[in-house]
A and B are shown apart, each in its own frame.
Chain A
Amino acid sequence: MDTFVTWLQATRLSQAIVYNTWIWPACETLHFIGLALVIGIVGFFDLRLIGFFRRVSVNAARELMPFAIAGFALNLSTGLVFLIGHPEQYAHNIAFWYKVGSLALAGLNAAIFETWVGARTVHVGAGDDTPLSAKAFGVVSIAAWFSVLVWGRMLPFVGNAF
């Protein structure tokens, strides 16, 4: 790990990120905008799965998902910029690994939902309640995404990396 961190820090890309003073704040700003898109749109769908917004059909509630995916793509790319720029800040920071774990949980949850439960909830129309399994996936998703947010924001304060 440390060999990789040292190698990454020495790359031109990493140094360019660190030496251009505007890159970091610009990526942070985009990271926060992407965060809002993911939380808002995924959160809305999750709340429908849990049983709120019942007058909206599950299928209709997921129609905004491309914006969440765009927000996630934005955050994945800006997140990579942070990692490449200052890998030493993250490699040994427990908050970062909690964040990665929460991301993995959110991703795994979504993948299982899509392949297993998703097909059944497609038919949950306006006014209908969702099956218990769908509610469980909604709860895990919303908890995992807020956990990603919380550990990301806590990064500079946990451990001594920053």
Chain B
Amino acid sequence: MMAWLEGTGLATWVRESPSLWAYPTILTLHTVGLGIVVGASAVVDFRLLGFARRVRLIDLSPLFGMMAWAFLLNATTGILLFIADATTKSRQPVFYVKLSLIFVALWCTFATRRIIREGNPAPGAESAPSKGGRLAVLSLLLWAGAITAGRLMAYL
């Protein structure tokens, strides 16, 4: 299965094309998406932890839409990067660590969005709900962990 994936025309193009538009651009887009997903997530998380209290949580809602688009970009580019090297990557434990961390981080993001939507905080300086604070710490740690696991895929 992995060998077949790796042998497809698309996977071969990603892996072997000398064009900068193949592997280098796909990898770069994966990093762009990382910056948007984790960066936008961090903005919400720091707010939930009590920083920038003058920003109402509900006004940060559009960030979730941006995260969704960037996540879609990274799922797509991630699949392309995976199939290009499927036999090796499917045997790397750290790859499964990365995937697991991302899934839990995504759950965190959805839970955070639910809290923000239901919370409907009044204008002015309100303190973040403590459940939101715990989710924020978890989210920051999980995304940092996912980045670490992703980077280590090149080394382990």
Contact = CB atoms under 8 A, between A and B. Distances in A.
Contact of A29 (B27, B40, B143, B151): B151
Interface of B: 20, 23-24, 27-28, 31-32, 34-36, 38-43, 46-47, 51-52, 54-56, 59-60, 62-63, 143-144, 147-148, 150-152, 154-155
A25 B150 CA distance: 11
A2 interface: no
A57 interface: yes
Contact of A153 (B27, B39, B154): B27
B20 A40 contact: no
B64 to A, nearest CB: 13
Contact of A63 (B41, B55, B147, B154): B55
A57 B42 contact: no
A149 B54 contact: no
Contacts, number: 103
Contact of B34 (A28, A32, A60, A67): A32
Interface in A71-111: none
Given A43-B40, A53-B59, 9 more contacts: A28-B151, A35-B35, A56-B55, A57-B54, A63-B51, A63-B54, A64-B46, A64-B52, A157-B24
A149 B31 contact: yes
Given A36-B34, A154-B20, A53 B28 contact: no
Instruction: Summarize B's interface: helix, strand, loop or mixed.
Output: helix
Interface residues of A, number: 32
Contacts of B62: 52-53
A33 B59 contact: no
Interface in A7-57: 25, 28-29, 32-33, 35-41, 43-44, 52-53, 55-57
Contact of A40 (B31, B32, B42, B51): B42
A39 B35 contact: yes
Nearest to B151: A29
Nearest to A65: B52
